[in-house]
Amino acid sequence: MAAIGRFQKGDEIFYAKVVDGELFRLQGDVFGSPSFERKPTPAKGVRVLIPVTPSKIIAVGLNYADHAREQNKPLPKEPLIWLKATTSLLPDGGKIEIPFSKHRVDYEAELAIVIGRKIRNVTPAAASRYILGYTAAQDISDRTIQNGESQWMRAKSFDTFTPLGPYIETKIDPHDLTIQLFQNGQLRQNSNTNQLIFDCYKLVSFISTNLTLLPGDVIVTGTPAGVGPIQSGDKLEVRIQGLAPLVNSVK
């Protein structure tokens, strides 16, 4: 497998492998040992969906040292995690909705981990065996609310606040990838996953010692420095090396 997406055509929802823009339907369980049709599915009338439907989204905060500095926060001694509502998910091409016009709302480009197998108490060395793949994400944040509350779940869980996708890349090393965010074509965030304080395997291990992870669960791994406000009419693009870009607009 390589890039896998989740699609809808009419009333039918299906997974497919994406090769040079062509879709080859998956046969079997995406979390098992699937095969793929040899003949591509015509792309006309096909809509890209969020790539998985997780039971939970686990967010990680202050996982790049430069972002912790710009937020005036001390570096965490262990991963800082919280849950985001699954109803906040938004597919590639969807519109981010700002709920309160006078609030500051920020973009945050992130690499997302997609879990492939049920997992509990795994070591970092074994974590890769439980990961289906990786995709691009954003952790949109209402800073006005976040700065006024001791916990962050509400500020980051409004509908449309977790853009995710478009596809899951199953064959990639997550430890040395450029990660960038463009706002209306202007580069705003520019870093590399080798700057993560807690890398992907350490995150999966840590989280699995605290709660059970299920196939399809998503971990958003933190954002680098350069976060900034969004407004209606913006076009936001997350580009992560080796992954298809995630593009969303704001209304």
H helix runs in 22-124, sequence order: 65-70
Rounded-to-integer distance, Cα 4 and Cα 148, Å: 39
Distance of CA 229 to the CA centre of its chain: 19
Instruction: Report, in angstroms and rounded to the nearest whole number, the Rg of the chain calculated over CA atoms.
Output: 17
Instruction: Give pLDDT < 50 ranges for the chain.
Output: none
Q: Which of 240, 225, 224, 221 is nearest to 57 (CA)?
A: 221
Spatial neighbors of 134 by CB under 8 A, at least 6 apart, are 111, 112, 113, 114, 168, 169, 172, 174, 200, 240, 243
Tell me the β-bridge partners of 98.
Answer: none
The structural domains of the chain, with segments of one domain joined by +, span 3-48, 57-250
Which CATH number does 57-250 carry?
3.90.850.10
Rounded-to-integer distance, Cα 100 and Cα 169, Å: 35
Q: What is the dihedral of CA 82, 86, 88, 94, to 10 degrees?
A: 130
CATH topology of domain 3-48: SH3 type barrels. (2.30.30)
Rounded-to-integer distance, Cα 251 and Cα 96, Å: 6
Given this model, what pLDDT does residue 1 score? 57
User: Encoding tokens for residue 134?
Assistant: 């990786």
Given this model, what pLDDT does residue 2 score? 84
Tell me the β-bridge partners of 48.
Answer: 7
Report yes or no on whether pTM surpasses 0.75. yes
DSSP one-letter code for 63: -
Grouping H, G, I as helix, E, B as strand and the rest as coil, residue 241 is coil
